[in-house]
Structure 1
């Protein structure tokens, strides 16, 4: 994949993310804040964007969303290969709780 293709993928991911975020915010603000890890101010700004503004923002070369699981513990819980279905569900729940706690700390 060359740099032009990578930039096109980033732009597409940005637009998809903004559209998803705006839909979630308008549908269920509290869920959107939790699931996307957004602050109230960011959510208000995204909710108010026009389609033209979203296209302009998405066209940048920087990815707008970021990985929220940035430590080994969360990655280990999310990638619990070889565990039973029950243990995998508990691991995913534990990872969600940890990431939600980090969202609350950031907000």
Structure 2
């Protein structure tokens, strides 16, 4: 019984932490979209439709969505070239440029795949 209670407490803590991350992410995403939609779409890796939706969400809608048990944000560094770009460059500006090119290419490729479907 003690082990079950400890597992339940850990699950509750993780759920609360996911909610905190979700809320912070959603508020930041909305702020970015309201400041500069095109840049936010690039930085967040989201579509125009999602950017429009984010910009128009109320605080209560954001809070309700943030309460999800699923993490709403995700890492976009899914492949080796992107990870290697982070550590190979010694110059910060060059590293940022390299990352931007790789991320833009991924976005263009994903949009082409979406158009073909």
Aligned residues: 103
Partner residue of 2:10 out of 2, 23, 36 = 2
> Over aligned residues, Cα RMSD in angstroms?
1.8
**Aligned position for 2:5:** none
Counterpart pick for 2:51 among 19, 38, 43:
43
Structure 1: which 4+ aligned runs deviate by more than 6 Å? none
Relative contact order, higher structure (CA 8 A, sep 6+): 1
1:13 is the counterpart of 2:17:
no
Where does residue 98 of structure 1 map in the other structure?
102
Counterparts of 2:100 and 2:10 in 1: how far apart (Å)? Answer: 35
TM-score with structure 1 setting the length: 0.85
In the alignment, which of 44, 52, 66 is matched to residue 58 of structure 1?
Answer: 66
Aligned match for 2:81, one of 54, 69, 73:
73
Higher-Rg member (1/2): 2
1:25-52 C-alpha deviation (Å, 9 max, x unpaired): 1110111011101100001111111100
TM-score (norm 2): 0.79
